[in-house]
């Protein structure tokens, strides 16, 4: 498996400055080891904290059930399902798997056209504002959305992307990314479906990195 590594920057919240990081166009054993050795225990602690604080189960992070090893192994080598990851300070900070083939656009003006559909995207627990009191790095979601847009352009889909958002991320996709909110999808776990047009993709890319 050949991985292309591209230089990017994340915002280090603790130091209050940009920090050099890497975007990998794949999910490797390193990412899975980071997930098993660092993410899972951290997520477990965060869920335990929520439980002890009396937060109802429905408001716990829904991605706690995701098994990145199973997902990655199932889709390994499949051209239709490329993966991406972000590494900063030697640690995996975010991962994403997309589908470039089976999904189609829903917005009227681009209905039926191909798009890059974001199947799974997750931030390391210590970067999530809903889990960590002071997140370590910001900008991971934006870099991954930009990677999905870049792939969409490379596939000649003109930047069109789509995804179903976990409730904790609705505001990020609507407000930060400027995607169209097509409402609750009763056929997909009642999650909200968001889609990006080429114009929205262009606007998001033009915005650049903002801490």
Partner 1 sequence: MATKKTMTLNLTDAEMRVLNDLCEKKDISKTAVLRQALRIYQLIESRVEKGDKLFFEDEKTKDKAEVMML
User: How many residues sit close enough to partner 1 to count as binding (CB under 8 A)?
Assistant: 16
Does position 67 interact with partner 1 (CB under 8 A)? The reply is no
Does position 202 interact with partner 1 (CB under 8 A)? The reply is no
CA geometry: angle at 8 spanning 120 and 105, to 5°?
35
Does position 5 interact with partner 1 (CB under 8 A)? The reply is no
- Least distance from C-beta 8 to partner 1, angstroms? 15
- Least distance from C-beta 114 to partner 1, angstroms? 6
Does position 157 interact with partner 1 (CB under 8 A)? The reply is yes
Does position 80 interact with partner 1 (CB under 8 A)? The reply is yes
Does position 84 interact with partner 1 (CB under 8 A)? The reply is no
Give the one residue of 100, 127, 142, 152 binding partner 1; rule: CB under 8 A.
100
Contacts of 179 (CB under 8 A, 6+ apart): 161, 173, 194, 195, 196, 200
Contact by Cβ (8 Å): 7, 19: no
- Residue number, 51 or 104, with CB nearest to partner 1: 104
- Helix (H/G/I), strand (E/B), else coil: 44: helix
- Least distance from C-beta 24 to partner 1, angstroms? 12
Give the one residue of 30, 64, 106, 113 binding partner 1; rule: CB under 8 A.
113
DSSP string, 108-166: GGGTT-B-EEEEEEEE-GGG-TTT-SS-SEE-HHHHHHHHHHHHHHHTTSTT-EEEEEP
Q: Is 24 exposed, middle or buried (0-12, 13-18, 19+ CB in 10 A)?
A: buried
Q: What is the C-alpha separation between 173 and 204, in angstroms, rounded?
A: 11
Does position 4 interact with partner 1 (CB under 8 A)? The reply is yes
- Least distance from C-beta 157 to partner 1, angstroms? 8
| 102 backbone dihedrals φ, ψ, rounded to 5° | -95, -10
- Helix (H/G/I), strand (E/B), else coil: 10: strand
- Binding to partner 1 by CB under 8 A, coded x per residue (else -) over 16-45, reads ---------x--------------------
Give the one residue of 12, 31, 92, 114 binding partner 1; rule: CB under 8 A.
114
Interface positions with partner 1 (CB under 8 A): 2, 4, 25, 78-80, 100-102, 113-114, 150, 154-157
């Amino acid at each position: 498996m050949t991985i292309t590594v591209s230089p990017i920057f994340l915002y280090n919240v603790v130091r209050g400055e940009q920090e050099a990081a890497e975007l990998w166009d794949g999910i490797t054993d390193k990412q899975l080891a980071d997930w098993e050795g660092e993410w899972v225990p951290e997520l477990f602690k965060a869920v335990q904290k929520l439980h002890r604080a009396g937060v109802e189960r429905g408001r716990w992070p829904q991605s706690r059930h995701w098994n990145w090893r199973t997902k990655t192994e199932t889709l390994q080598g499949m051209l239709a399902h490329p993966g991406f990851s972000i590494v900063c300070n030697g640690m995996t900070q975010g991962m994403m798997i997309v589908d470039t083939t089976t999904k189609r656009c829903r917005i009227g003006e681009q209905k039926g056209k191909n798009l890059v559909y974001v199947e799974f995207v997750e931030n390391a627990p210590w970067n999530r504002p809903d889990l960590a009191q002071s997140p370590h790095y910001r900008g991971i979601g934006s870099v991954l959305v930009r990677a999905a847009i870049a792939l969409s352009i490379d596939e000649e889909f003109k930047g069109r992307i789509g995804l179903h958002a976990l409730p904790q991320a609705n505001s990020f996709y609507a407000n930060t990314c400027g995607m169209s909110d097509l409402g609750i999808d009763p056929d997909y776990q009642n999650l909200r479906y968001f889609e990006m047009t080429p114009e929205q993709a262009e606007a998001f890319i033009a915005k650049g990195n903002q801490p």
